[in-house]
Chain A
Amino acid sequence: MALPISTRDGFAGGLRTTVMAPLVSLQERAELGRRTFLSHDASIRVADSVALRSLRLQGIEQENAKLRALLGLGALLQWGFVPAEALKGRGIGDEQTLTLSAGRRAGVEPMAPVVSDAGVVGVIERADATMSTAILWQHPEFRVSAMSLNGEAYGMVQAHGGTGADRYFLELRGVLLRSQIPSGAVVVTSGLGGVWPRGVPIGTVVSELKTPDQWARSYLIKPAVALSDLGSVLVLLPSRTRAGVDNVWTSAAGAELAARRIVSSIDSIARLTGDSNSVRQRRVIADSASARAERDTVRKRIP
């Protein structure tokens, strides 16, 4: 303490860099270890929280995608619909009915169509003031007039029924013998009867069913809407049903059909010319265009 400051600082600095350096390093590691030990519990809590959130993330992403799709559908429809939350119950028969969070006050009426971004969900059975009940396409009393996308075949869609996996399919009945629908073809509402507007997707043809009917064909339909994934739906008002929804769902379905026609044309050309490489390239382009059309099913139209 009696030394001049410069001498003192120089001497102390020399000691720090020589004798004390390893001890200071030891102290630094000890303090780091103490901070790590103290923050261990907090780190574990953070890690557990992150793990829990990541588990929920996939479900949240799916729900977000569905809500975005529904928002897009709403943007395309623009008017004449009521959004509603699907409130699913746990009782017997609840897989065939659905309680919705919108009722008469919102404009919901019995026999109003219930749709999602993918297509037909069901129809309103009864409407209370603030909530309503709908029968889903799985219900044995559900019926909807249907047609193929190209309009060449008409019939009536109802639940396939049965047990096991059969109850998750639909049937298209009463199709004239001369009208044959290939597998994979999209079936939409025909608009006949006034309950459903024309052009709402119902499902895709899986195969033809063998029935005793000799004057008509029946087809097994894979529904467009999976009832287990329902969260939010739209209820179409009568005015919207009368006005029609032709350009909302069928644009994407039509684009997919056009893409398939392109691919088949390319194949025909390739067979004639024998150029397989260009066929593969063009098929890739056509498939990507088809996939983009599916994603853009409910994209907002650019005026």
Chain B
Amino acid sequence: MPSAPRTLWTVGWFGLLVILQYSLRPMLGWRVQADFLVIALLVIAIRSRPAIAAFCGFVLGVVTDSLVPGAFGAGALAMASVGFAASWLKSVFFTENIALNAIFVLAGKWVFDIIYLLAEHRLGGIDLVAQLFWWSPLSAALTAAVGVGVLLVSSPPVSGHRR
């Protein structure tokens, strides 16, 4: 059972990342942007069990989907899936390697985009292909760069085996 201060620390970082999603991202206005919500979910996922991570992902996805009524539920599905998978993978293997952490975040963001784009049924054809294999990987790479920094700052390196 995680200690209360550690939980508060995690929740604080989660809140900060959510705020950055709705403040820094629109302020920058870049075509390729980091997804702070995915990073926030991963921060939760690496410190909790898969079920809790999936639940947190689901709630986070439902709340953010309220701004996209046409694809309501796609984000919840993607977030829940990524949260569960991230927590499960984190419990399977241990890594203190920054590069592996970056791949972890990159994969998380890319998988999120894949699930989300396929679930919302908005894009098709060449647009979907371009988004999946060009813009999403770029966004995932930027998210990974930011996410590694956040993971390093927000907690000690990822421990392999949870006690």
Q: List the interface of chain A (C-beta within 8 A of B).
A: 1-3, 8-9, 11-16, 19-20, 23-24, 26-27, 29-31, 33-34, 37
Taking CB as reference atom, which chain A residue is nearest B119? A1
Contact of B66 among A3, A15, A31, A34 (CB under 8 A): A15
* Minimum CB–CB distance for B17 against chain A, Å: 12
Contact: B67 with A20, CB < 8 Å?
Answer: yes
Contacts of B23 in A (CB 8 A): 26-27, 29-30
Contact: A3 with B69, CB < 8 Å?
Answer: no
Taking CB as reference atom, which chain A residue is nearest B28? A34
Contact of B69 among A12, A23, A24, A31 (CB under 8 A): A12
Number of chain B residues close to chain A: CB under 8 A: 24
* Minimum CB–CB distance for B161 against chain A, Å: 36
Asked if B22 is an interface residue, CB under 8 A from chain A, the answer is yes
Q: How far is the CA of A274 from the CA of B56 in the complex (A)?
A: 99
Contact of A31 among B26, B62, B71, B77 (CB under 8 A): B26
Contact: B26 with A34, CB < 8 Å?
Answer: yes
Q: What would 12 more interface pairs be, CB under 8 Å, given A1-B71, A13-B66?
A: A2-B73, A9-B69, A15-B63, A20-B64, A20-B66, A26-B23, A27-B26, A30-B23, A30-B24, A34-B26, A34-B27, A34-B28
Contact: B24 with A8, CB < 8 Å?
Answer: no
Contact: A1 with B73, CB < 8 Å?
Answer: yes
Taking CB as reference atom, which chain A residue is nearest B24? A30
Q: List the interface of chain B (C-beta within 8 A of A).
A: 18-19, 21-29, 62-67, 69, 71-74, 77, 119
Contact: A24 with B119, CB < 8 Å?
Answer: no
Contact: B66 with A12, CB < 8 Å?
Answer: yes
Say yes or no: A27-B63 contact (C-beta < 8 A), given A1-B72, A34-B27: no
Say yes or no: A3-B63 contact (C-beta < 8 A), given A24-B22, A26-B23, A34-B28: no
Contact: A23 with B22, CB < 8 Å?
Answer: yes
Contacts of B77 in A (CB 8 A): 1
Taking CB as reference atom, which chain A residue is nearest B64? A20
Q: How far is the CA of A19 from the CA of B62 in the complex (A)?
A: 11
* Minimum CB–CB distance for A37 against chain B, Å: 8
Contact: A34 with B29, CB < 8 Å?
Answer: yes
Q: How far is the CA of A36 from the CA of B91 in the complex (A)?
A: 46
Contact: A12 with B65, CB < 8 Å?
Answer: yes
Contacts of A3 in B (CB 8 A): 72-73
* Minimum CB–CB distance for B28 against chain A, Å: 7
